């Protein structure tokens, strides 16, 4: 179906095309000059000591878990409310994901519920910085220290998001930012792995490139895989990172307009903005009454919405973990009531006003 207003359109144009043309002209398509440039831009932007490229956020998490030594017999604590990749990446290492509920204010992992889930098999905690706000890292780091656990941050949605001034993904032992087509900035598919730890970096570097320190040699000191990207993707990434300030400004302005227009609608609530994080609206999220009906109503008027994540403990693929459906009340509540309104740079104010008028119409005010 063609929407009058789609959920999201990436903010790409002539800058990306110019960079892509440069790559084609050099005839060097795998990691090259743009990849190096992109890595350096990410280092400057995030302050991470080490940055590695990965094919996407999912495999970036998988690579990070392997680099931390997570494997069969281990458990990794993951919030119940997140994209499937946070947990599937754990499963593919042979380890078991253990779910924890989230906070109703911001839908990030609830640090107060982590300790009761720790066992002798727990190896790591994976906070996920969800919907453009940082998880509360200080208590998580404290618990990790107490039980000698690793912290891997899923900052897939966290580009430009800081926890008390530190960029998400650089606070724990290792972290991942995704640049999938619907993330804050994009390279189509792609991700970076961030770490300040020299040993973890060395291990990740070997694993990502066939177990060898650099390409061009066929002697492999370790066993690895291929997590490399292309210079085409990084050419797009370089153009995107330069647009970030503009992207952030536009998305915040759109979000504020939604907030202003919908503040009088009592059937709608926005998530809370926490004092320890800045906010880069990843979606224009609202918690609503009669979610399904509203989605259908907006759909009939050409407006594409998106539902929130389906709680991990209820995923058919995780039935073997034997959680009960009513465990994790906040995560269940978020799914039952949450939806994302369109938010992207080229969205016009009139379009937002149209969406808000349809929502008001639906609730009869």
Residues that bind ligand PLP (CB under 6 A): 56-58, 82-83, 85-86, 128, 154, 156-157, 178, 180, 191
**Residue number, 233 or 304, with CB nearest to ligand PLP:** 233
Helix (H, G, I), strand (E, B) or coil at 100: strand
What one-character DSSP code corresponds to residue 179?
A: -
* 329: its two tokens: 């009340």
Edge-to-edge strand list for the sheet holding 284-288: 268-269, 284-288, 338-341, 306-307
Q: Cα(244)–Cα(232) distance, rounded to whole angstroms? A: 19
Task: Please report how close the Cβ of residue 72 comes to ligand PLP at its closest, in angstroms.
Answer: 22
To ligand PLP, the closest distance from the beta carbon of 133 in angstroms equals: 12
- Taking the least distance from each CB to ligand PLP, the nearer of 86 and 230 is 86
Smallest distance from ligand PLP to CB 176, Å = 7
Of 58 and 230, the one with the shorter C-beta distance to ligand PLP is 58
CB of 217 to ligand PLP, least distance (A): 29
**Shorter beta-carbon distance to ligand PLP: residue 135 or 294:** 135
- Residue 302 Cβ vs ligand PLP, minimum distance, rounded to whole Å: 26
Record the tokens describing residue 121, joined without a space.
Answer: 């098999």
Q: Which stretches of the chain are DSSP H helices?
A: 14-26, 33-46, 57-67, 85-91, 137-147, 198-208, 231-242, 244-262, 291-300, 329-337, 349-362
Q: From 73, 75, 131, select the one nearest 102 (Cα to Cα).
A: 131
Nearest approach, Cβ of 189 to ligand PLP (angstroms)? 6
Nearer to ligand PLP, 88 or 304 (CB): 88
Question: Strand 96-100's sheet: what is its strand order?
Answer: 50-54, 191-195, 174-178, 150-154, 122-125, 75-79, 96-100
The answer for residues whose C-beta is within 8 angstroms of residue 121's C-beta and 6 or more apart is 73, 74, 75, 96
| Contact call for residues 123 and 68 (beta carbons, < 8 A) | yes
Q: What's the closest the beta carbon of residue 47 comes to ligand PLP, in angstroms?
A: 21
C-beta closer to ligand PLP: residue 85 or 236: 85
Return the residue nearest ligand PLP (CB atom): 57
Q: Closer CB to ligand PLP, residue 110 or residue 355?
A: 110
């Amino acid at each position: 179906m063609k929407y009058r207003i789609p959920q999201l359109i990436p903010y790409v144009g002539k800058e990306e095309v110019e960079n892509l043309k440069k790559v084609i002209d050099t005839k060097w398509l795998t990691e090259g000059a743009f990849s190096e440039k992109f890595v350096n831009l990410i280092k400057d932007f995030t302050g991470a000591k080490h940055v590695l490229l990965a094919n996407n956020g999912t495999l970036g998490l998988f690579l990070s878990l392997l680099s931390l030594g997570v494997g069969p017999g281990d458990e990794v604590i993951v919030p119940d409310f997140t994209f499937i990749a946070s947990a599937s990446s754990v499963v593919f290492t042979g380890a078991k994901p253990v779910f924890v509920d989230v906070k109703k204010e911001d839908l990030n992992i609830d640090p107060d519920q982590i300790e009761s889930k720790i066992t002798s098999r727990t190896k790591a905690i994976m906070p996920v910085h969800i919907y453009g706000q940082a998880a509360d890292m200080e208590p998580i780091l404290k618990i990790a220290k107490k039980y000698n656990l690793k912290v891997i941050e899923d900052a897939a949605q966290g580009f430009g998001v800081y926890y008390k001034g530190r960029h998400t993904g650089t606070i724990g032992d290792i972290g991942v930012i995704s640049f999938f087509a619907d993330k804050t900035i994009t390279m189509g598919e792609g991700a970076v792995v961030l770490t300040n730890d020299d040993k973890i970096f060395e291990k990740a570097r070997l694993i990502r490139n066939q177990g060898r320190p650099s390409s061009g040699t066929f002697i492999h000191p370790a066993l690895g895989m291929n997590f490399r990207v292309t210079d085409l993707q990084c050419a797009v990434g370089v153009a995107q990172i330069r647009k970030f300030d503009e992207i952030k400004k536009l998305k915040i302005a759109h979000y504020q307009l939604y907030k202003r227009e919908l503040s009088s609608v009592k059937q709608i609530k926005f998530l809370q903005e926490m004092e320890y994080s800045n906010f880069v609206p990843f979606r224009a999220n609202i918690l609503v009454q009669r979610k399904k009906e509203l989605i259908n109503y907006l759909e009939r008027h050409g407006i594409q919405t998106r539902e929130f994540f389906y709680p991990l403990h209820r995923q058919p693929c995780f039935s073997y973990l034997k959680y009960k459906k009513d465990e994790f009340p906040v995560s269940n509540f978020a799914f039952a009531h949450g939806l994302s309104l369109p938010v992207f740079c080229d969205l016009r104010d009139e379009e937002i006003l149209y969406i808000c008028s349809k929502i008001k119409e639906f609730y009869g005010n």
